[in-house]
Amino acid sequence: MEEKEYHRNRRMFFVIDDNLVIAQVNSEKSHFEWLIEQFWPEDKAIEFIETGLRGVLNPDGNIRFYTGENWEINEEIEKKFFEILPELVEKLKISPEAIVGGGVIRGEVGEFWPARKEYGKVKDFIL
C-alpha cells in the first residue's frame, strides 16, 4: 500500500484543547499537513506534533496513538488517550476486538507499523 493510499484508508485523530478532533474521511494528509490546512501557524503545528496526542484508526481496524515526530508514548499521553477512548470508539464505531497500541515503530512504507506497546483490546477498557 502506498503512503497516500494508507492515509486515505486510515482515520486520523487529535486531542486539541482536551477535545477529540477526527479528520475527514479519505484525507491523504499527514497529521502535520492537516493542521496546516486548518490554518495553524507552522510553529504551532510543529509544537503540537511534538507534544500533543494524535493517532490513527488503521485500515485493519486497530488503533495507534502517540506523540512526537518519532511516534512515542509517555504517561501523560496514555492518560489522555484512555480518557477519550470511549468517545473515539463511539464516533468511529470501532470494534470491541480492535487492538489498542501506543507509539509506533517505523517500518516499511506499505506495511502497518507495529506498536511500541500493546494494551489489549478495546473491550478490555470499555464495558
- Predicted confidence pLDDT, tens digits, the chain (127 residues): 677 777 778 999 999 999 999 999 999 899 999 999 999 999 999 999 999 999 999 999 999 999 999 999 999 999 999 999 999 999 999 999 999 999 999 988 777 889 999 999 999 999 7
Number of domains in the chain: 1
Beta-bridged to residue 22, according to DSSP, are: 13
| Res 111: pLDDT | 78
Cell of 84: 477519550
CATH code, 24: 3.40.20
One-letter identity of residue 16: I
Cell of 106: 517505523
Which pTM was predicted? 0.92
Buried b (16+ CB within 10 A) or exposed e, 53-69: bbbbbbeeebbbbbbee
Q: List the domain range (segments joined by +) for residue 104.
A: 3-124
Report how far residue 31's alpha carbon sits from residue 23's, in angstroms, rounded to the nearest whole number.
9
User: Which of 66, 123, 121 lies closest to 99 in space, CA to CA?
Assistant: 121
